[in-house]
Each structure stands twice: as C-alpha cells, then as structure tokens.
Amino acid sequence: MVPFVFFWTKKKGKLASLKPDTDTTKITLKVKEKKEFPCTGISYLSNVKYSSDNKKVAKVNSSGEIQAKKAGTTYIRCKVKQYGDTYNLVCKVTVKKEGNTKDPTSAYRNLIQSYEKKYGEAQLNEQKQFWTGLCYAKLLDFNNDGINELILTYQTERYNKDKVQYHVELWKYGGKSAKRVTSRISWSGNNMPYFGGLGICKYNGKYLLELTGNACGDNYYYGTKKDGSVGLVHKFIWKGDAMEGDWYMDGKKTSGNMYETYYKKYHANATWYSFAQSSNNNLIRKELSNTKQKLGM
C-alpha cells in the first residue's frame, strides 16, 4: 500500500493532500541561463517526466533543470503520475538574446521622428480619401523574444489620387539601432496602388505581416523564420492573367488548393488595414497614436 502524504497549507491547522501545480505559468531566461521547473506539490514517490516543445530554444533534463539555448519561445512540460492521478503541468519559457535586451524605445522613437521630418506627419485628404505623411505605426513582438518590432507606413503624393502609393516597412531592433526588414508598396485591388493596405494575421500564437501587390496577385508574409529571426516566411506569386494562370509558392509552382489552404489558415485571425476606406480612418489614427504614446512621444 502506497503511503498517503500530507503537507501544511498557509492556513494554520488545516491539512491538504499533496497535489502537483506550477508556481508560475511563464518564465523569461537569458541565453545559457538555467532554472528549475517552477512547480510544487510533487512527491518523491511520483513518476515525473519532463519535455521541451523546442529543444533548440530551451531544453530540460530528467531533474527538471531548464537550460536556455537560443532566443525564442517554447513550452516546457512536466507529466506527473501521483497516487493514481496524472497531472500535466506546462510552463511557457521565453529566451532573450544576450547583449540584445536593451529597450528599443529610443531607436524607434528616433526613427518615427526622422520619418515625420522627411515625409511629414499624418494628414488625411477626406475628400479624396487618402493619407499623406507617416500615416501608420504599430509595435508587435513577432517572434516572441520580448522585443517589439515596428511597422511603419508612409505616403508622399499630396494631390493626384492616381499617383498614391503606400510604402509599408517592417523594422526590428538590432541591439543598438533599428534595422529594416522590408519595405514594399502594398495594395490590394482595382489595379491601382491607391487601394493601399496591410494585413496583420495571428497564426500558431505568432504574428504575420501581410503585404500585397499586383491586385492581390502577390502575397508576402513576414514573421518568424525557422531560425527564430524575423523575415520573409512565405511569398505567393500569381503568374497569368485574370482568367488563367498558376500560383507559385516561394518560387515553386503550387496548386490553387495549396494557396487557398495557406490563405484560410493565415486569415482565420486577421485584420486588414485599408487606407482607401473611410471606415478604417479612426482605427488607423488610433494605432498611430497608441504607438507614439508607448514610445513616450
């Protein structure tokens, strides 16, 4: 017969049966840092197994010691069999790069100020419905490393609607300064860049920036690459006319069904910011204002 174990709770005079649980559901480590799996209530008589969803980010040994390997996010799992019951404990582990943990606020603030000086502050031509100047900014942590990336959009044409083009850029923080990941003219319809916009998708817990061109015949998705860095994840290019043609995924011909599969899973949780639709004006203003506030501007 297995002995039943008790422990004292914080309330005096009361006993409670030993039950495994986590002290916290998430921790942050630096590369090479070690930490014990944060749990309580596990008896020495129990069967305990630890595992990591991504050993390249952080690994865990049989004793529950977590070691951070490289920047990124993973989940450390602890399966406990105790007194006939099974408990599955999970802790989210975020690993930050050594020497790259400085706050990017100053770099991003300087970048926005320089763009507003160069292109002007956001202005809306309400009669013709197009923006000029630095008209959009948003902070997002694409690769879950604890350091935000920055999305910027600017437009310089002030008078001719047919010449309007929205330049969308993605920036990351390199430890000392901001570094540009991409810069593209993004537009979505009617064969003219006036219909500019950008999409922000969330898939598998991570963000994707969607930029389009050629009336949505070109689709570029930026987010977390396989090595954990931020960059181009996939690109879909339509080669043909309005009636016939083929999709190419990352340079290789693919089926329409494959394109549709990726489109549906990426857009299941997505927001499209259209600069040509007046219904989005307040949202665009809000995103820009919130970003500036977060950067102390």
What residues does each domain of the chain span?
Answer: 20-96, 105-294
Q: What is the DSSP letter of 17?
A: E
| Residue 194 burial (C-beta neighbours within 10 Å; 0-12, 13-18, 19+) | buried
**pLDDT tens track for 21-64:** 988 899 999 888 899 999 888 888 889 999 999 999 999 999 99
Q: Report d(CA 149, CA 274) in Å as an integer.
A: 21
Q: Which of 54-59's residues contact partners 24+ apart within 8 Å by CB, and which partners?
A: 57/93, 57/95, 57/228, 58/29, 58/93, 58/95
Q: Which two tokens stand for residue 143?
A: 């690769």
Across 188-192, average pLDDT: 75
Q: Report d(CA 136, CA 148) in Å as an integer.
A: 16
pLDDT level of residue 107 (50, 70, 90 thresholds): very high
**pLDDT tens track for 229-283:** 999 999 999 998 878 899 999 999 999 899 999 989 898 899 999 999 999 999 9
Worst-scoring range by mean pLDDT, 172-181, 235-244, 288-297?
Answer: 235-244
Q: What is the pLDDT of residue 16?
A: 42
CATH fold label, 20-96? Immunoglobulin-like (2.60.40)
**Paired sense of beta strands 85-96 and 26-30, if any:** parallel
